């Protein structure tokens, strides 16, 4: 009795102490982020913002004014100012596309067509040069559209690649294909993404014949597709491995061809087994796009960093990074939600055996 009382007192004390620490931290953050925050700064005689107010508050209050001043650069980078509405539409299109894909009601073959149409529209809007839209070279693109493009095109293209590679690794009668698939996965997995990006940006042009120039963004995109493809292939393979052999045999015995059996029987089951792992890889990959900073592509992370390089705004990185974190979190959280929805919906057929009424 006495010892159990002592345990309870101890656990109550620990709970209280942790709550106090947490509350104190929250209060400090609240005080910094809201109470003592500077929301805007006056403009000096030359029309430029005067950041003295912010500078005086450093350590005491956040300077959200930096976001107000810099958000267009953070979101869209060096995309021509007057044309940034096109970047904004691209972001909105991506968000709409994701929202649409979140809703199980729209999970039908037509959604693939919608995806293709949106991706084509994104290309038209970003590049321009047609339909009277002014041409914007890819090295002027920046910010959130770059992150979303790298991640979305990367996943949309690496996923089918991963499925082919995973199937290839299991192709028992085709040793050459299996060998290529294994070599691809092991080579890519054994190399850091950063070195892949370096190779894509620095070395690849050396190997290309003269006169052929693939722009830097496309090269980084290729590196991402190859990288994500290798990891996703292993996830897909795990799903294939988990499927009983009898499923393929039953499909074959019914006369379905290899590709019919794969598409209609094997993949729907194999992929469902590995949804959590797939989404995990997707999320990691989404955040990995920020590594293009290394090769000077202005994705969201790079524009955020660059925004606080201007002497006037130096020292206000925390505010900017908080914004970036919020944006990354919003997208990653949405992906996690898709995963949960998918799991719940796809598990419907596996209900426990229902007693006959």
Residues found near another protein in the complex (CB under 8 A) = 244, 246-247, 249-257, 260, 264-265, 268-269, 272, 346, 349-354
Q: How many CA atoms lie within 13 A of 68 on its CB side?
A: 12
Nearest distance from residue 113's CB to another protein, in Å? 22
What is the H or E stretch that residue 182 is in? helix 175-189
Residue partners of 186: CB distance under 8 A and separation at least 6: none
Nearest distance from residue 249's CB to another protein, in Å? 5
CA distance 239 to 274: 6
Which sign, positive or negative, has the C-alpha torsion 285, 287, 291, 297?
positive
Strand partners, 221: none
Q: CB-wise, 81 or 245, nearer to another protein?
A: 245
Nearest distance from residue 336's CB to another protein, in Å? 23
CA-wise closest residue to 243 among 263, 259, 265, 264: 265
Pinpoint the alpha helices (H) of 49-134: 52-57, 65-76, 84-102, 110-127
Q: CB-wise, 59 or 175, nearer to another protein?
A: 175
Nearest distance from residue 158's CB to another protein, in Å? 24
Q: CB-wise, 247 or 318, nearer to another protein?
A: 247
Q: CB-wise, 163 or 265, nearer to another protein?
A: 265
**51 close to 315: Cβ distance less than 8 angstroms:** no
Nearest distance from residue 108's CB to another protein, in Å? 16
Q: CB-wise, 109 or 244, nearer to another protein?
A: 244
Q: CB-wise, 175 or 244, nearer to another protein?
A: 244
Distances (CA, A) of 266 to 2, 236, 269, 351: 60, 11, 6, 20
CA distance 29 to 123: 41
**239 close to 270: Cβ distance less than 8 angstroms:** yes
Q: CB-wise, 80 or 268, nearer to another protein?
A: 268
Nearest distance from residue 178's CB to another protein, in Å? 18
What is the H or E stretch that residue 159 is in? helix 144-169
Nearest distance from residue 264's CB to another protein, in Å? 6
CA distance 122 to 131: 14
């Amino acid at each position: 009795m006495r010892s159990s009382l002592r345990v309870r007192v101890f656990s109550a004390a620990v709970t209280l102490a942790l709550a106090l620490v947490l509350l104190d931290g929250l209060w400090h953050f609240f005080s910094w982020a809201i109470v003592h925050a500077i929301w805007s700064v006056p403009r000096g005689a030359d029309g430029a913002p005067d950041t003295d107010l912010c500078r005086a508050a450093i350590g005491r209050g956040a300077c959200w004014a930096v976001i107000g001043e810099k958000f267009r650069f953070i979101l869209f980078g060096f995309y021509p100012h007057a044309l940034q509405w096109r970047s904004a539409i691209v972001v909105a299109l991506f968000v709409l596309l994701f929202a649409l894909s979140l809703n199980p009601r729209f999970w039908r073959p037509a959604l693939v067509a919608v995806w293709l149409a949106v991706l084509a529209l994104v290309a038209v809007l970003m590049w321009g040069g047609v339909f009277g839209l002014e041409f914007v070279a890819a090295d002027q693109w920046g910010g959130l559209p770059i992150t979303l493009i790298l991640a979305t095109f990367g996943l949309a293209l690496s996923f089918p690649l991963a499925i082919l590679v995973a199937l290839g690794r299991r192709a028992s009668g085709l040793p050459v294909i299996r060998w290529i698939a294994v070599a691809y996965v092991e080579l890519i997995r054994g190399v850091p993404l950063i070195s892949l990006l370096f190779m894509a940006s620095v070395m690849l042009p050396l190997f290309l014949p003269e006169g052929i120039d693939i722009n830097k963004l496309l090269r980084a995109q290729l590196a991402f597709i190859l990288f994500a493809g290798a990891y996703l292939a292993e996830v897909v393979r795990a799903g294939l491995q988990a499927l009983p052999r009898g499923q393929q045999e039953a499909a074959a015995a019914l006369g379905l061809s290899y590709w019919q059996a794969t598409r209609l029987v094997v993949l729907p089951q194999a992929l469902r087994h590995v949804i959590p792992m797939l989404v995990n890889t997707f999320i990691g990959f989404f955040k990995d796009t920020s590594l293009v900073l290394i090769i000077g592509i202005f994705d969201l992370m790079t524009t955020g960093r660059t925004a606080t390089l201007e002497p006037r705004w130096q020292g206000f990185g925390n505010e900017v990074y908080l914004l970036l974190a919020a944006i990354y979190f919003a997208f990653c959280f949405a992906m996690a939600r898709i995963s949960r929805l998918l799991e719940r919906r796809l598990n419907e057929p596996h209900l426990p055996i229902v007693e006959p009424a």
